[in-house]
Structure 1
């Protein structure tokens, strides 16, 4: 895995504090799509367990995999007893046990593209479901967003992660749906968007930025300078758009 993908462990506690969790609506979308009870799930890149708690809290026996020890330690503090944890990168998982659901919460883009879909398929039961979901936290007010962009510019041109396959943001189908549509291993590819709006205090918004990988790649003094520059242009509270884009697909029978 890249250094950027493994940068979150240094801020595991902040990640747990400042990253938003996932709503029950997400679980309902996945299980409605599955069309049957989801009893077992494998989570790719579980982080501090934001999505783990959602699925495990609904009775799913989740195996949460995560390569970073600090993130996994944070996850273990708050997950239910029915969660099994494995310290491993997705690429190091070996086929054997299969699951009714394999999912990734804001983590799939950190996995290597070579063999990605064959590995996912090998971990799924026949007709099992794959789900990927996540999305950026963005400032809802264009004027505030522009002020932050200007303040950030001396440090970073952008703090977002570009689409792994180059799909433009205005395209109707986004990654990884674009790749799933081309894979012979999956069928019934769908994309949904769960709209979310939140209000954060300025300090909490900067706290969120402190968990974003683009900033974590900067030398620590530069990180602090960037956070201070952004904090100076923020109002006391900010409205954010934290929409969740959900991609769903089903493993083809016989594959």
Structure 2
């Protein structure tokens, strides 16, 4: 599933929102200044990379899907792109100063991801894991859209990961010091068509057979049109950050 987004790489790049500017400020403050080198694992088409480049350090992106990597390389020719899985990537000797992961930590191998991240960092280096969680500002919108999925899936809806799952995972590994979690919220208004396009970039949607995909999109369109053709989202960005001990 870590390569399923390549089927819609251009749409993903166009519609997926980036991250708040405050996130970069938080990473800089925590790290204690600009890092000497950055690695972005599971980089996708570069929503996180765009922020990391502002640090002014060389950036290497690790992205297993060649289709996503191609979009990434075309957007950011100054970035070195390694089109391999994190599990198959070899860190540079001595490790890297900052290892970042934007909306891809859950795609890394759960039993080994924290250890691999630790081992990829230089002593004292920083791990920054962040993701966007898509929620709704209005409870009526949330209920109307949840009802669409219940109509397709029945009452047994797949549970979502906790918002701070990456923080919990990093803490539980026992490999990092001074682990912190920080959150931000943004409230963009999204049209019916904008939400349908966004939905088509979500992994649970992409896992569905085509008849179910069509039913979900039709149901969502009717629900959002019934709410006036627009909904206000609550995009919750969660950063989990920690140091490899020296």
State the distance in 1 between where 2:134 and 2:25 align.
22
The 1:62/1:160 distance shift into structure 2, 3 A limit, reads farther
State the distance in 1 between where 2:189 and 2:244 align.
38
State the distance in 2 between where 1:19 and 1:179 align.
25
Determine which of 159, 162, 170 is the counterpart of 2:160: 162
State the distance in 1 between where 2:17 and 2:157 align.
17
Aligned to 2:31: 34
The 1:137/1:160 distance shift into structure 2, 3 A limit, reads farther
Instruction: Specify which structure has the higher proportion of helix.
Output: 2
Aligned to 1:93: 89
**SS class of match (2:75):** coil
**SS class of match (2:97):** strand
Aligned to 2:80: 84
State the shift of 1:80 in Å: 5.0
State the distance in 2 between where 1:109 and 1:29 align.
22
State the distance in 1 between where 2:6 and 2:236 align.
24
**SS class of match (2:114):** helix
The 1:241/1:187 distance shift into structure 2, 3 A limit, reads same
State yes or no: 1:243 paired with 2:228: no
Aligned to 1:195: 185
Q: How many aligned positions are there?
A: 241
**SS class of match (2:181):** strand
Contact 1:18 1:207 survives alignment (8 Å): yes
State the shift of 1:159 in Å: 7.8
Aligned to 2:65: 68
State the distance in 2 between where 1:161 and 1:19 align.
22
Q: TM-score, normalised by structure 1?
A: 0.88
State the shift of 1:152 in Å: 2.0
**SS class of match (1:179):** helix
Structure 2: 5+ residue stretches without partners: none
The 1:85/1:96 distance shift into structure 2, 3 A limit, reads same
State the shift of 1:114 in Å: 2.2
State the shift of 1:107 in Å: 0.2
State the shift of 1:75 in Å: 1.2
Aligned to 1:178: 168
State the distance in 2 between where 1:18 and 1:140 align.
19
State the shift of 1:11 in Å: 0.9
Aligned to 1:218: 208
The 1:122/1:33 distance shift into structure 2, 3 A limit, reads same
State the distance in 2 between where 1:73 and 1:225 align.
31
State the shift of 1:180 in Å: 2.2
CA-based RMSD: 1.8
Aligned to 2:10: 13
State the distance in 2 between where 1:11 and 1:106 align.
16
Q: TM-score, normalised by structure 2?
A: 0.91
Contact 1:155 1:222 survives alignment (8 Å): yes
Which moves more between the two structures, 145-154 or 191-200? Answer: 145-154
State yes or no: 1:56 paired with 2:39: no
Contact 1:95 1:119 survives alignment (8 Å): no
State yes or no: 1:25 paired with 2:15: no
Q: For each residue in 1:132-187, what CA deviation from the matched residue of structure 2 results, as whole angstroms up to 9, or x when unmatched?
A: 00132112211121111112223346887733xxxx56xxxx22222322334210
The 1:142/1:41 distance shift into structure 2, 3 A limit, reads same
